[in-house]
Structure 1
Amino acid sequence: MADGGNDVRKAARAVMMRDYDGDHEGALSRAEKLARAHPRSAIALRLAGDLHFAAAIRAGKVIELGGKVGGDAEREASTHLAAARNALSRAKQLVPSCVDIATALGDVFAYSTMFREAEVEYNSALAILLPVDPALHNAAYGLHGRERTTVNARVKEAREKASLAYGRLTKQMIDQGVAAMLEGADEEVSALLQEKPGATAEEIVKAERDVMLELRKKARILAEAFPDSARAQCFHGHMDLKFARLLDASIDKRSVLRRSTLKIADRAAEKFPNSVVVASFRAKLLYILGEYDAAERDCRRALGMKNADDPGDDCVPPGSIGGPNRGARQVSHASEFHELINKIVRAANVYWSSMTEEKRSEFLTVRFDALQEDYNKVDRSSFSVSDVLSFAEKHKSYRFWVCPFCDNHSKKHTDTVSLLSHMCSKHQRAVLPRLQSVLDQKLDCNAFEGNQYSYDRITFSQDSDQHDIVFFKERAEMFKWLFDKPSSGIRTQSLAQIIETKRRTGTIVLENIKEKLKTLATDKFSTEFAEVLPGIQELWIKFVKDSAVDYRGVILAIGRSLLWTKLKKYMSEDPEVGAKRICAADIDEILAIVAYNYGSSAVAEKTEAHMCLHSDEAQKMNENHQESDLDAENRSLGTIVHMKLQDAPTNMDENGNKLDEQLEKLEIDPNSTQPSATPQPSTPNENFHILDRIIDIVM
């Protein structure tokens, strides 16, 4: 520590406390005086740089207002940023081995959109072999009491902050690289068409395809260079898909999508399991390819993600998923999964309607061993499908009740008389014995009347090989009856879960009966008794219905799940579905291709705001040691425009686009199922910087 020592640290802390109290101008003025009085003090210079940076960010928020106020704020921000760069550069010259100061300078450069300089500073911070204690040159350490961390811990924390800042810069550069490539491609197509103002449809498609071929190559290089970037992988997938849609209509797009685009999506999904954007892209692609079950599973998995990544971080183009915060963007993106599931259900309904009576009969016949296998995915211990038949043979019924006040493994009562007798004798505090004397047991016979409780469409028999089978007979609204629940994501419950649910329901109803019994008059011939009794009888019927377990209902639940999966498999394996060529319209319909409107200044501004999203986050001054107003609002802005194009013309020979030439351009990697081995530059590389690498790719 030079030039003032402890006196400078004490004065710097006083300035920081003034800043915390809200006197930003006064604190900045004192910091500048302190830096002028002690030009050889890294503490004083660091403080001045940090406070100028904070002032620049405050001014940056005002710039958004526009007009004269915004213009003045922009000039003010520029002045503060220049002062911050100057102060922190001088501090670094004094202490070149301080990771903390180099990172702070890099943050200011990044916010100033001086990305090459920012990368140099982050590289410098991470490359320091013997860093000094950050606390020696930062008054924030120990500001609110004695600093209790060790030197090694502080150095480790400083390195982690530098690494995170470097990662943010990498992401920002990738985002800008993607935006630049998309913009460049759009401009290139326009330039090509301007050369031929009267271009035919074939010539327009040729121009688009030629540009997309080059863009696809750049996207692949970007994805290989940055395998840890979800956006780079999504960009690669989107460009591969767009190129495929522009191929001659005579080319089998299904084969191309499966061999190339799906492999890209598979690798991305494995690498980024919490990315809803990757999951959405893969699910839609699977739908196009007719892999309906896999597509729905991807949708369900994405909708159930506990710690999903921010869609705004991965979307293509950057800024295309709007929303004021991460949660809003996730909710917005979830609608895509619901819509895709609805498409699968609609397609399944159409397919179901087209099935012949013979095929449906075969479809609706399920062997017990298939049911058992499907149930075992839920629970392997509590239920054997074959027990259903032995139970029915013994008791002449598929229905039973379990006492709500005993455990799940208690006796199965096959009639309500024995159940009520058991409850009144064993659980007198919960079920008053008087209930037996006021109930007419004949009421129970009517409890299961009506279609809701009828399982007469479920029958059991054996096939020609003597295998036990269940057959689901056709009925009104069969598709809805069978598939509404599984297609809505309702999962099959284990028998133990079903019984527990019935017990809880029964307990609630019996509690209501108990309360009514307390008010029931003793005189059975009184008006009061006649008024209360029907309510008790109604509740008892409700208890009988709601707490009953019917084995056929369990079979139905398992069967619904199994048959829903089976129907999607039938659809995928149908020769007619497989033979249908995938055209550009199919791709457009399901993906709703985003048009990145670079001609709009509003969109450009929103995209630029999105690019600065993580840069704002990087400007938090000593975020683990002090508070500041560097918390920039986290938001992603953008515009989505839906665009539908026509199929490429089939006769492209005049334009030099023969089928073999187009296929040759695909450059499908035969080993594309393996993840790329190209490392991401997450560590400093003095000879090959991120900016240089992305410039090489974009250019």
Structure 2
Amino acid sequence: MANHEAAEAASIRNEAREVLNLHYDGQHEAAVARAVVLAAVHPGSAVALNLAGLIHRHAFLVARNDRGAHSDDEDDDENASALEKYHRHATLDAFSAAARLAPGCVVTNTDHADALADCRRFEDAQKEFLRMLDTVANNDQADPALYNVVYDMSGDSSSKERRRDAVKSASISMERFAERINHRILPLEAAKLLDASNLGGPAADEARDRAKLLAETYPYSPRAQLLRAYIDLAPVRALDPAMDKKQLLRRALTTVSQAAENFDHSLMVALFHAKLLFVLDNFDAAERECRRAVRIETPNDPKWDDIPPMAALGADSDARVSYVKKQLRVLLKQIIVVAALYWSSMKNALQGQRVVSVTVDTLQAHYDGIDKSAAKTISDATRFLKNQESWSFWICLNSRCDGKKFSDTSSLWQHTCSKHRDELWGKLQSLIDPEYYENSSQDDHSLVGITLSRQSDTFLLPRVQDMFESLLLSPSVGIQAEPFAEMRQRKCREGSEILGSIREKLRMLPKDTLSTEFQECCSGIDKLWLKFLQVTVVDYREIILPLARSYQWIELKKRIPFYLNHPGTRRIGIADANIDIICGISGQSVKEMASTSSSQQSLTVSNKNNADSHCAI
């Protein structure tokens, strides 16, 4: 019996080779005829069935290409010829039967999945691909040569090499399938489901169920996840504006947050996610998501992810990326402006009082967790202020002094003359006005945005409007503080350059002290020395103020939801679960938002090319 089966298998394989040679020689009709007979006579042979599937699929593709059809046209089946339909379904029948006989053959699984997709049975194709992945993960894949005569024609190779190559080919097919689903099938599905969701009633319910199924079936598609969230929000639009929609919005947020984590190069997912966070009053998370997305260097082309399809405008990928990033920057400004509007209402409330001050310990603890050098600077600045009654000091430019601090120019001058003897200082002292180096101290009123309350050891930050102005200058970056070490290096470098210029002028100084040239040269040296003093002074507030304002901004964003939850608080409509902000890609401009505020709220926004640069409360 075993010998008979082996002989029969060998006979089938020999005939399959002959059929395949006919096919390769261009005798396609003869190859089809013999492949059909071979599969019919041997329905239990995966070799015969795989051959029939291969020959039928070639004939199907030729017939479809002859009429210039697209594989995903909705009317594809209606316009297909009888011959095309026959070969398409015969392909699926052959590969389906082969897959049942050879469940561990990755090549057969892949061909079966492709045939299912050609028949628009996409969910079934997805299941077949997943089954194939399980086979590979469990290392159960069979040698494809056992079930496919194509490998008889491809030369010598080992079983291990064939299995490896089969997995590579399957991966390529899966990628092709995923692109087909995301780029061509889902846009068609989305158009139908979005129309249905707008009808309401049973049609909307079916659309919601279908969108959920698509998201679960194609977890690798950002567009499928966005479609589900988009349709989930459709019924929320129809609710009474006075109704609290937060619970419904949070359901959608669960889906979108997971999608944002899984598809971190999708600008469309990031934009939708940020908008949803925004209308849920989570300004801090919305801002972080916008900034993360703006910093993506190689984002996906938005046209592959957008819902509704074609929402991302632009002639090419770069233009579309620019378009969506512009929307993200607009949203960043919206967050700042809405926060400013809320601040004008809450600044006299308890939540507002907690924004205009921060204890030294709190600020230091905040930065200790994210930036040790900033935390050390806060500690050093506080200690210096308490000891010297001043925020500012000069530093010695000599590297051997390791940034030694001097509270006034007189002590700096004395130190330099005694520790770093140089003819420069003697000449300079004889030329410049003594008041330029004797007991001069930096004006401590140049940076009035921050003070330290000694009694409570608390930084006071009363000028909140300055914070908004700083944010609007660069919303994509936020408030940045120059690290102390970098500031010191910069000032030393700039100071050394000025001293070099002074040396050059001293070298060129005319001998005639009564000449006009001598007086002009002395005047130039005076100006350079004053510039040196201005450049080399270090004011701790230049660092502490942006650090404190950055923390103040975070604290304000956290306080707004608490303020809004207080009974009797009036909400601003644009941030009150406005679903159109989420579902519309362009959103409102900053000026449009500002115009919706109450007459009691004052906001001045100057706009040039959608780049607001000033906000005054």
TM-score, normalising length: structure 1: 0.58
Query: Counterparts in 2 of 1:458-537, with a 5 A limit?
Result: 458-462=450-454, 466-474=455-463, 478=466, 480=468, 484=472, 489-493=477-481, 497-504=483-490, 506-508=492-494, 510-511=496-497, 514=500, 517-518=503-504, 521-525=507-511
Match of 2:543 among 520, 543, 554: 554
Question: Is 2:336–2:468's contact at 8 Å kept on the other side of the alignment?
Answer: no
Moved more, 526-535 or 545-554: 526-535
How many Å separate the matches in 2 of 1:560 and 1:572?
19
- Cα distance between partner residues in 1 of 2:28 and 2:425: 87
Equivalent positions of 1:164-563 (< 5 A) are 164-171=175-182, 173-185=185-197, 189=199, 208=200, 211-249=203-241, 251-258=243-250, 260-305=251-296, 308-355=299-346, 363-380=355-372, 383=376, 385-402=378-395, 406=399, 410-416=403-409, 434=424, 437-438=427-428, 440=432, 442-443=435-436, 454-462=446-454, 466-474=455-463, 478=466, 480=468, 484=472, 489-493=477-481, 497-504=483-490, 506-508=492-494, 510-511=496-497, 514=500, 517-518=503-504, 521-525=507-511, 538-563=527-552
| Structure-1 separation of matches of 2:556 and 2:360 | 18
Please point out which of 581, 588, 591 is paired with 1:591.
Answer: 581
- Cα-Cα RMSD: 5.9
Query: Residues 504 and 131 from structure 1, CA distance in 2 versus in 1: closer, same or farther, beyond 3 angstroms?
Result: farther
Q: TM-score, normalised by structure 2?
A: 0.64
Q: Is the 8 A contact 1:31 1:47 kept in 2?
A: no
Summarize the Cα distance change of 1:185–1:417 in structure 2 as closer, same or farther, 3 Å threshold.
same
- Which residue type is aligned with residue 193 of structure 2? M
> How far did residue 327 of structure 1 move?
4.1
Distance in 2 between residues matched to 1:533 and 1:79, nearest whole Å: 99
Q: Is the 8 A contact 2:256 2:273 kept in 1?
A: yes
Shift of 1:503: 1.2
Distance 1:383-1:152 versus aligned 2 partners, 3 A rule: same
SS of equivalent residue, structure 1 residue 366 = strand
> Does the 8 A contact of 1:253 with 1:581 survive in 2?
no
Gaps of 5+ in 1: 4-8, 12-28, 64-74, 190-207, 595-638, 643-699
1:560 is displaced (CA, Å) by 0.7
Q: Does the CA-based 8 Å contact 2:233-2:252 persist in structure 1?
A: yes
Tell me the distance in 1 between the aligned counterparts of 2:528 and 2:63: 69
Deviation at residue 167 of structure 1 after TM alignment: 3.5
Please report how far the alpha carbon of residue 132 of structure 1 lies from its aligned counterpart in structure 2 after TM superposition.
3.2
**Other-structure match for 2:606:** none
In structure 1, distance between residues paired with 2:481 and 2:164: 49
SS in 1 for 2:273: helix
Higher relative contact order (CA 8 A, sep 6+): 1
Q: 1:82, 1:531 → 2: CA distance?
A: 99
User: CA–CA distance in 2 between the matches of 1:536 and 1:83?
Assistant: 93
Which of residues 161, 185, 206 in structure 1 aligns to 2:172?
A: 161
Task: Evaluate the alpha carbon distance shift between residue 372 and residue 588 of structure 1 in structure 2; reply closer, same or farther with a 3 A threshold.
Answer: closer
Quick one: structure 1 residues 437 and 262, their matched pair in 2 at CA, closer, same or farther if it must change by over 3 Å? same
Give the AA of the match of 2:178. Answer: G
| Bigger Rg, which one | 2
- The Cα offsets for residues 609-654 of structure 1, whole Å up to 9 and x where unpaired, read as xxxxxxxxxxxxxxxxxxxxxxxxxxxxxx9999xxxxxxxxxxxx
Structure 1 residue 243, shift from structure 2 partner: 0.8
**Count of residues in correspondence between the two structures:** 536
CA displacement 1:469-515 (0-9 Å, x = unmatched): 1223559x645567556855334447xx2331441354256336526
Distance 1:357 1:493, change over 3 A: same
Note the C-alpha offset of 1:422. 7.3
Given that 1:486 and 1:560 are in contact with CA atoms closer than 8 Å, whether structure 2 keeps it comes out as no
Q: Identity over the aligned pairs, expressed in percent?
A: 26
Q: Write the letter of the residue equivalent to 1:257.
A: L
Q: What is the distance in 2 between the residues matched to 1:416 and 1:255?
A: 62
Secondary structure of 2:358 counterpart: strand
What is the deviation of 1:49? 9.3
Change (3 A) 1:268 1:101: closer
**For residues 523 and 233 of structure 1, do their structure 2 counterparts lie closer, same or farther at Cα, with a shift above 3 Å needed?**
closer
